[in-house]
Amino acid sequence: MTRRRTAILLTFVVVAFAFAACGGDDGSGSDGGTQDPAALEGESWILTQMLTEGGQTEIVDVGVSAQFDATTISGNSGCNSYHASYEASGNEISFGPIAGTRKACPEPENSTEARYLQLLDGIATFEVSGRSMSMNDQDGTPVLQFSQG
């Protein structure tokens, strides 16, 4: 009886280690140090949260979006359209000067747009995990949170 229990227990341990070794890697590159910049491309990213000036997380429901191609980010910044060049390598990302249309916007679109563009200008790293993306400042603090739209 003892040998049989040992054999069954050993089988469960081996199977558990096999599953752990597989790790559920979905290819999305959830390790911040080994991100694939191509994971940014092909989908529209919708801003769901951003950091306020006071350091609090704020839910965003204004319709801010980001679309990446090989060298350009573009989208809606709340009221206006915007675009900028970008360079990404691993999990690091930097943006060139941001250009956009200049329509007059009501609140809360106006203040959301101003804060989004300010934060986007200070982004240093990104992390894509499944259908979510985090953009982080120089300190590694997540300041912009997106989901695929």
pLDDT digits (tens, 9 = 90+) for 67-116: 999 899 999 999 999 999 999 999 999 999 999 999 999 999 999 999 99
Looking at residue 88, its pLDDT comes to: 95
> What is the tens place of the pLDDT at every residue in 14-51?
333 333 333 333 444 344 456 888 999 988 999 999 99
Q: What angle do CA 48, 94, 113 make, to 5 degrees?
A: 40
Task: Decide if 25 contacts 83 (C-beta within 8 A).
Answer: no
For 39, residues 6+ apart whose C-beta sits below 8 A from its C-beta are 28, 29, 128
